[in-house]
Structure 1
Amino acid sequence: MKAKITLLFTFLFIGLNLVSGQTNEEDMATLSIMTEYAKAKNYEAAYKPFMELRQRNPKFNRAIYVYGEKILDDKIEKSTDANKVAYIKDLIKLWDERGTHFASKTPKGEYAAKACQLMHDYKDILNKTDQELYECFDAAYNLDKATFKNPKSLYIYFKLMVALYDGGKKPAKDLFNKYDDVAEKIEDEVKLASEKLNKLIEKEDAGTALTSKEKKYKKYYSQVLTAYDKVSGSIDSELGERANCENLIPLYQKDFEEYKNDAIWLKRAVSRMFYKECTDDPLYERLVKAYDELSPSADTKVFVAGILMKKGKTSEAEGYFNEAYDLEEDSFKKSKLAYRIGTILKKKGRYGQARGYFRNALKLNPSNGRPHLAIAAMYASSANSCGDTTFNKRAVYWLAADEARKAARVDPTLQKSAAQSAASYLAKAPSKADIFSAANSGQVIKIGCWIGSSVTVPKV
Structure 2
Amino acid sequence: MKMNKVLLTFLSFFLALAANAQKQEECKKKFESYEALVLNRDYDAAAPLLKDLIKDCPKYSADTYLYGEEIYKIKAESSRTPEDKQANIDTLLTLYADYEKNFPGNGSVVRKAMLMKEHKLADEEEVFKALDGFYTTNRKKFTDYDALQEYFMLYLKRYEAGDKNITGTDFIEKYTGIAAQVTYARNMFIAEKAALQDKQEKEPLTRREKQFLKNADNFINALSAVHQNIDKLSSNYVSCESLADYYGSRFEEHKDDVAWLESVASVLYENKCYREDVLYKTAVASYKNNRTAATAFRAGDVILKKTKKEEAIGYFEDAIALETSPSRKAELYMHIAGIYRNIDKGEAKKYALMAASANAKSGEPYLFLAELYSSVGSRDCGLNDFQQKALLFKAIDMVNKAAAAEPKYKPTAQALVKQYSDMLPNKDEAKAAGYKKGDEVQYGCWINETVKLPKL
Q: Deviations over 1:132-175 (max 9, x none)?
A: 556545545655566x48xxx63223333564577575846534
Partner in structure 2 of residue 87 of structure 1: 88
* Greater Cα offset, 347-356 or 433-442: 433-442
Query: 2:222 aligned to 234, 242, 255, which one?
Result: 234
Displacement, 1:332?
A: 3.5
2:359 equivalent among 338, 356, 366: 366
SS of alignment partner, residue 429 of structure 1: helix
Hey, what's the Cα distance between the residues in 2 that align with 1:154 and 1:32?
29
- The alignment status of 1:217 with 2:218, answered yes or no, reads no
Residues 373 and 395 in structure 2, CA contact (< 8 A), matched pair in contact too: no
Residue deviations 1:305-363 (CA, integer Å, cap 9, x gap): 536635xxxxxx53663477369852339948954861672475444324444555666
2 CA distance for matches of 1:67 and 1:107? 17
> Is the aligned partner of 1:109 residue 2:100?
no
Q: TM-score, normalised by structure 1?
A: 0.60
In 1, Cα distance between the equivalents of 2:32 and 2:125?
A: 43
SS in 2 for 1:217: coil
Equivalent of 1:331 in 315, 323, 328: 323
Evaluate the alpha carbon distance shift between residue 74 and residue 181 of structure 1 in structure 2; reply closer, same or farther with a 3 A threshold: closer
1:251 is matched with 243
Shift of 1:88: 0.9
- Rounded Cα–Cα distance in structure 2 between residues aligned with 1:385 and 1:377: 13
Post-superposition offset of 1:257: 0.2
Whether the 8 Å contact between 1:405 and 1:419 is mirrored in structure 2 is: yes
Paired residues in the alignment total: 392
1:428 aligned onto 2:419: yes
Give how far 1:240 is off. Answer: 3.2
CA distance in 1, matches of 2:129, 2:191: 28
CA distance in 1, matches of 2:273, 2:58: 57
Deviations 1:66-103 (A, max 9, x none): 77555534431233334423321212212433555xx4
For 2:368 and 2:191, how far apart are their aligned partners in 1? Answer: 25
In structure 2, relative to structure 1, the CA distance for the partners of 1:361 and 1:261 (3 Å cut) is farther
CA distance in 1, matches of 2:323, 2:279: 27
Matching residue's letter, 2:78: K
Q: Secondary structure at the match of 1:109?
A: coil
Structure 2 CA distance for aligned equivalents of residues 307 and 329 of structure 1: 22
TM-score, length of structure 2 as denominator length: 0.60
Unaligned runs of 5+ in 2: 1-26, 161-170, 378-382, 431-435
Task: Say which SS state the counterpart of residue 174 (structure 1) adopts.
Answer: helix
1:408 aligns with 2:406: yes
Identity %: 16
Q: Which has the higher helix share?
A: 1
Aligned to 1:345: 339
Mapped contact 2:399–2:416 kept (Cα < 8 A): yes
In the alignment, is the contact (CA less than 8 A) between 1:335 and 1:361 conserved in 2?
A: yes
Q: Tell me: higher relative CO, structure 1 or 2? Use CA pairs within 8 A at least 6 residues apart.
A: 1
The CA distance in 2 between the partners of 1:30 and 1:294, in whole Å, is: 48
> Is the CA contact (8 Å cut-off) linking 2:189 and 2:219 kept in structure 1?
no
CA distance in 1, matches of 2:251, 2:271: 20
User: What stretches of structure 1 of length at least 5 have no aligned partner?
Assistant: 1-26, 202-209, 311-316, 410-415
Counterpart of 1:174? 174
The alpha-carbon distance between structure 1 residues 231 and 193, as it changes in their structure 2 partners (threshold 3 A), is closer
CA offsets, 1:243-294, max 9 Å, x none?
A: 5999323322233102444345455555655566543x3x23x542566479
What's the Cα RMSD here? 5.6
Matched, 1:380 2:371: yes
User: 1:192-238 deviations in whole A, cap 9, x for unaligned?
Assistant: 5545654665xxxxxxxx6xxx2x23998676456434433332233
Please give the secondary structure, in 1, of the residue aligned with 2:336. helix
